[in-house]
Amino acid sequence: MAQQKSTLKERANVAFQDDFLRKAVRFTADRLRGRKADSTGALGDWEEWRERGRAIRSHVIENLDYYLDQFIQNAEKRGIHVHFAKNTEDAIAISLKIAKDKNTKLIAKSKSMVSEEVHLNHYFEEQGIECLETDLGEWIVQLAHETPSHIIIPAIHKNRYQVQELFEKESGETLSSDTKVLAGYARRKLRQRFAEAEIGMTGCNFALAESGSVVLFSNEGNARMVTTLPKTHIVMMGMERIIPSWEDLEVMANLLPRSATGQKITVYMTALSGPRRAGEVDGPEDVHIIILDNGRSAILGDDEFQEVLNCIRCGACLNVCPVYRQVGGHTYGGTYSGPIGAVITPLLMEDKKQWGELAYASSLCGACHEACPVKIPLHDMLVHLRRRYVEAGFTPLSERMAYKGYAAGFKSVGAYKLAGKSARWVQLTVMGDEKEESALAKNTPMHGWTKYRTLPEPNKKAFRDRWADLAAEPPQAPRGPKPKKETE
């Protein structure tokens, strides 16, 4: 993932100025949440399915070395070339070597977020190799020279008029803004490129250890074109994508589409088990799998974060996150956005100071945990990240001094009393009214809070000052219904 020149706050301020982006993200996220509620309700026992998913993923991650070895052995038995990339540089070098060996000019891609993580397109373009995204949303953001804004809906922030403008610029034609017309243009344009591509590249939703197969969930059918028409197929996958068996795939096939888009089942579920065999009419002649570490092994064994590797990339946590719904995916600055991005990006990146600030892009409401189909405690992980950020001394000096003063105030009775009286005075001077923020508050660090909220007016006499009078008051009879008179 590339380094960001701007800060999280600067990117958020840009997003706040874009009313259309915020409305579009909220609208789509709300629709996905509604569909998910309908589809999980129809399935029944959703919590039991979540627990089964959590158990499978946790078991795999705890025994990842065993299942990785089993997957590699079975994949190689099927004639697949398996490569292991320790980092971005290895992944790029392996991919480029395969491409150059095949004299490749065009790579057709589908469902490959990991290749986005290593910025594969950028490196290939430097070598004169075109990488064409064929998922509709991915193609739209590629034409706009942007990065995906959502894990499963990359162009969630664009409307059909913006897409129409992009397609007209690409085609040189005048197109209608009708979605059927735009989808038809994309279909015609992309179909002619599948056959031209020397290499098809995909990611992998799940890799089955017991068979050495990779499985793709998709809705558009382009993944099947990418994996069958080009002579060479490259799969780039994170090392944690493994599940043990076909039986476990059934659980994931119920969890992922329902959590992602509210579909009862994905339109296409494609299992790939090696190159074309004798007598088969389609499929690649050569298949490579690149298994990427890129910081994931450092998360293994970390009690506070290992569960983040359970993620099945459904995006459910984004759809319920109050922060993501306000700022969209580009504010997060990396490949992965939303709560999962705020956790995994700082863990994968070397620059902990820059990316650690993402942990503050959360209200810690826990909605992400409730939505996660495999029960990852993302809100707890965000707190752990914040603690590590503080312990590393990355927070501003003013914040560190403020908390030292806070700690000192609670250690001394006198300092606590003085702080209480001072806080009351500060509240009176900065509270403003319902119509306007006070002039003083505008010039204090509280401005970000008081700009949108009105502080309550404090009582004229503090509780501590009233306590002596209250203690001196005679005890009163307890309130309640009067006892009934006894009757003879």
**Overall average pLDDT of the 264-288 stretch:** 93
Is the pLDDT score of 487 beyond 70? Answer: no
CATH superfamily for 56-300 is NagB/RpiA/CoA transferase-like (3.40.50.10420)
Nearest to 68 by CA among 243, 204, 311, 215: 243
- Output the average pLDDT for the chain: 91
pLDDT in the model for residue 410: 87
Q: Assign 360 a pLDDT band (cuts: 50, 70, 90).
A: very high
The stretch 373-397 carries a mean pLDDT of 95
* pLDDT (0 to 100) of residue 6: 84
Q: Write the pLDDT tens digit of every residue in 287-340.
A: 999 999 999 999 999 999 999 999 999 999 999 999 999 999 999 999 999 999
Q: Which residues of 47-86 are buried (b: 16+ CB within 10 A; e: fewer)?
A: eebbebbbebbbebbeebeebbebbbebbeeeebebbebe
pLDDT band at 39 (very low <50, low <70, confident <90, very high): very high
User: What is the percent of the chain where pLDDT is above 70?
Assistant: 96
pLDDT value at residue 251: 97
Residue 253 binned pLDDT confidence (cut-offs 50, 70, 90): very high
CA 99 – CA 442 distance, rounded (Å): 57
d(CA 356, CA 347) in angstroms, rounded, equals: 8
pLDDT of residue 346: 95
Q: Give the start-to-end residue ranges of the domains of the chain.
A: 56-300, 413-467
pLDDT digits (tens, 9 = 90+) for 150-193: 988 899 888 899 999 999 999 998 999 999 999 999 999 998 89
The encoded tokens of residue 114 equal: 């990991």
488 pLDDT more than 50: no
